[in-house]
Amino acid sequence: MADFTFLNIKADHFIAECKAAIGEAYVLTEASAKARFEHDFWNQYQGMALAVLRPDSVQEVSTVVQLAVKHGISLVPQAGNTGLVNGGIPDQSGVQCVLSVERLNTIRHVDPAGDFMVVEAGCILDHLRNVAAEHNRLFPLAMGSSGSSRIGGNIATNAGGLNVLRYGMMRDLVLGLEVVLPNGEILDCLKPLRKDNTGYDLKQLFIGSEGTLGVITAAALRLVAAPRERVTVWLSIQTPEQAVVLFKKFRDEFGELISAFELLGSDGVEIAIQGLQNLLRPVSEEAPWHLLVEVAWTFHEGLRSKVETVLETILGEHLCTDGAIAESEAQRAMMWRIREGQSESASKLGYILRSDVAVAIANVPALLNWLETWKVKLTPRNIRVLPFGHVGDGNLHVNFLIAKNQFANLHDELLDTLHDEVARLDGSVSAEHGVGREKLKAVTQRKSATELTLSRNLKVLLDPQSIFNPGVILENHKAKS
């Protein structure tokens, strides 16, 4: 009882001081105002926040963090809230506060000649891509959540997406960072330098740290020349082995010009076409597997004829059974809608249990063939297996479509079985989505003691009071005082 009273008093003081520091309107405590910050994008996880804090500058973030330290209140940084691993919403204790960076949404600077832009953490990914395009530059990160996710969250999750093959993960696109540390100090590593070997590259610590080591408030991002000609191709193939052979063929022909090389299972394609509006399969017949490939360059023309020549060769070699080139932007958008809309369409049919794993490209067929065998055993139990992914990165997403009330029964069985096979193939149980709370067990079970000890020591060094996102990535524990 005494503990509850103490907790309430310190929470009340914290909230009152936050209101004084950032304005009453930006400290949300009403249930209806907090609601959208307390559940994830797909409504699969639910938490409860003491309050939602919405500062609008790095100085205000710093003040809020200092107040959290003073009162011992945990903070959960949140950007666009599209994360898939239950890391960006509070837990169910009701004592954590969401620290939203939505209002830090200024594009501070664009330098097209220097190929960089400096943006605040709350900028929506699509928005900053559009601003880069206005300067005839490309910010290459692109994914299904581009319209909602924000750059602070993209950096904190080291997001991957559709163009990793050519431009790398988020980590490869960050030149500099501004971060508020767990003691409230502002770490300014924003210099947009390509070369800076002056000791430890501290910004790297925060990329992929999922809000556990501090709050990212701004970033200097790498821009590239915007491609002028782009060719998008849809291919029907019979086996996962063909996907890998074709990937090598495209690589040999087009090298770094390939920006996407996506594999889609037949069931997922048909579910997307039937469940979403105005979609047609780009090829006439169903096929066991499909590839969606995109190549692009900065010249105005000439790429399409090169792609056509390669397609003639691979059709002649019977490496694919059918194929189509997008003839218009609308056709291209439809191909990508089939790829991107699979989860949305499948979720109308039941509950989606998601996974995100990676294996070496050579092991992609082994994993997919193992899945096919497993699928036969799961079908009589009304479990559908819908694999798709960035095959050029060895990154597969396996969606399990299950009945809505089966989540608790099937979660561990399905994911543990998949993860064990991935581990047997020497892969990763989280390719691009991160760890959050969802994969804490799966990841910690498979990390070496040395990796875990080093990670825990790092967390304690930076955040001894465990103010930031306790229980995400690592189990929650505070340094001994």
Ligand X SMILES: Cc1cc2nc3c(=O)[nH]c(=O)nc-3n(C[C@H](O)[C@H](O)[C@H](O)COP(=O)(O)OP(=O)(O)OC[C@H]3O[C@@H](n4cnc5c(N)ncnc54)[C@H](O)[C@@H]3O)c2cc1C
Of 101, 221, 258, 293, which one interacts with ligand X (CB under 6 A)? 101
Q: Report, in Å, the least distance between residue 41 CB and ligand X.
A: 4
Of 140, 208, 211, 227, which one interacts with ligand X (CB under 6 A)? 211
Of 38, 210, 267, 438, which one interacts with ligand X (CB under 6 A)? 210
Q: Report, in Å, the least distance between residue 121 CB and ligand X.
A: 4
Q: Report, in Å, the least distance between residue 7 CB and ligand X.
A: 22
Pick between residue 85 and residue 257 the one whose CB is nearest to ligand X: 85
The H or E element spanning position 49 is: strand 49-53
| Count of residues of this chain found to bind ligand X when the rule CB under 6 A is applied | 35
Of 144, 168, 275, 464, which one interacts with ligand X (CB under 6 A)? 144
Tokens at residue 200, please? 């430890």
Pick between residue 162 and residue 307 the one whose CB is nearest to ligand X: 162
Of 15, 21, 51, 84, which one interacts with ligand X (CB under 6 A)? 84
Q: Binding segment for ligand X among 153-161, 235-243, 257-265, 370-378 (CB under 6 A)?
A: 153-161
Which positions from 408 to 447 touch ligand X by CB under 6 A, shown as an x/- string? ------------------------xx--------------
Does position 208 bind ligand X by CB under 6 A? no
The answer to whether 348 touches 272, Cβ cutoff 8 Å, is no
The helix/strand/coil state of 51 is: strand
Tokens at residue 226, please? 């915007």
Does position 153 bind ligand X by CB under 6 A? yes
Does position 472 bind ligand X by CB under 6 A? yes
For tokens 């989860």, name the residue. Answer: 343
Does position 150 bind ligand X by CB under 6 A? yes
Does position 389 bind ligand X by CB under 6 A? no
Of 159, 175, 218, 346, which one interacts with ligand X (CB under 6 A)? 159
Compute CA distances 91 → 50, 115, 166, 437, whole Å.
Answer: 10, 40, 37, 9
Pick between residue 323 and residue 470 the one whose CB is nearest to ligand X: 470
Strands 116-120 and 215-222: antiparallel
Q: Binding segment for ligand X among 192-200, 211-219, 444-452, 454-462 (CB under 6 A)?
A: 211-219
**Of residues 314-343, those binding ligand X (CB under 6 A):** none
> Which residue in 322, 344, 324, 346 sits closest to 267, CA to CA?
346
Here the contacts of 408-413 (C-beta below 8 Å, separation 24 or greater) are 410/353, 410/383, 411/353
Does position 149 bind ligand X by CB under 6 A? yes
Pick between residue 41 and residue 374 the one whose CB is nearest to ligand X: 41
Of 21, 173, 216, 386, which one interacts with ligand X (CB under 6 A)? 216
Q: DSSP secondary structure string, 322-387?
A: EEEE--SHHHHHHHHHHHHTHHHHHTTTSEEEP--EE--GGGHHHHHHHHHHHHHHHGGGT-EEEE
Counting beta carbons within 10 angstroms of the beta carbon of residue 284, is it exposed (0 to 12), middle (13 to 18) or buried (19 or more)?
exposed
Q: Report, in Å, the least distance between residue 295 CB and ligand X.
A: 19
Does position 65 bind ligand X by CB under 6 A? no
Pick between residue 114 and residue 147 the one whose CB is nearest to ligand X: 147
Of 74, 96, 154, 355, which one interacts with ligand X (CB under 6 A)? 154
What is d(CA 326, CA 232) in angstroms, rounded to the nearest whole number? 6
Does position 56 bind ligand X by CB under 6 A? no
> Which residue in 119, 331, 84, 88 sits closest to 211, CA to CA?
88
Of 50, 58, 143, 231, which one interacts with ligand X (CB under 6 A)? 143
Neighbours of 25 (CB within 10 A): 9
Q: Report, in Å, the least distance between residue 4 CB and ligand X.
A: 27
Tokens at residue 198, please? 């002056």
Neighbours of 280 (CB within 10 A): 10
Does position 160 bind ligand X by CB under 6 A? yes
Q: Which residue lies nearest ligand X, judged by its C-beta?
A: 153
Compute CA distances 61 → 58, 182, 296, 362, whole Å.
Answer: 5, 11, 40, 45
For tokens 């997001």, name the residue. Answer: 159
Does position 268 bind ligand X by CB under 6 A? no
Pick between residue 65 and residue 314 the one whose CB is nearest to ligand X: 65
The helix/strand/coil state of 299 is: coil
Q: Report, in Å, the least distance between residue 159 CB and ligand X.
A: 4
Of 11, 21, 60, 83, which one interacts with ligand X (CB under 6 A)? 83
Compute CA distances 11 → 33, 64, 96, 212, whole Å.
Answer: 18, 13, 10, 21
Q: Binding segment for ligand X among 150-158, 186-194, 259-267, 290-298 (CB under 6 A)?
A: 150-158
Does position 157 bind ligand X by CB under 6 A? yes
The helix/strand/coil state of 402 is: strand
The answer to whether 206 touches 190, Cβ cutoff 8 Å, is no
Question: Residue 297 half-sphere exposure, CB side, CA atoms within 13 Å?
Answer: 12
Residues engaged in binding ligand X (CB under 6 A): 41, 76-84, 87-88, 101, 121, 143-145, 149-150, 152-154, 156-157, 159-161, 210-211, 215-216, 432-433, 469, 472
